[in-house]
């Protein structure tokens, strides 16, 4: 039982849906940007022990 398997035909059928989607949607596919992250809360500097103010 000799079965010759060619990689070209299965690869074509696997990539065909991907190529069809890219043909209709475009390349690169439109993907929404990541949501903005909240900035970290600023850390306050501890006051001097002596109470010096500038």
Q: How far is CA 17 from CA 1, 9, 31, 48, 52, in A?
A: 32, 14, 18, 67, 71
CB 21 within 8 A of CB 15: no
Q: What is the pTM of this model?
A: 0.39
d(CA 6, CA 40): 56
What's the pLDDT tens digit per position in 1-54? 666 766 677 888 889 998 888 888 877 767 788 888 777 677 777 777 665 555
- The reported pLDDT for the residue numbered 11 is 83
- The reported pLDDT for the residue numbered 21 is 86
- The reported pLDDT for the residue numbered 50 is 61
The helix (run of H) or strand (run of E) holding residue 21 is helix 8-25
Q: How far is CA 54 from CA 37, 42, 47, 48, in A?
A: 35, 21, 11, 11
- The reported pLDDT for the residue numbered 1 is 60
- The reported pLDDT for the residue numbered 12 is 84
């Amino acid at each position: 039982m000799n079965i010759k398997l060619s990689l070209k035909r299965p690869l074509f059928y696997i990539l065909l849906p991907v190529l069809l989607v890219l043909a209709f949607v475009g390349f690169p596919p439109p993907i929404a940007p990541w949501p903005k992250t909240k900035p970290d809360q600023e850390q306050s500097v501890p006051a001097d022990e002596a109470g010096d103010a500038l």
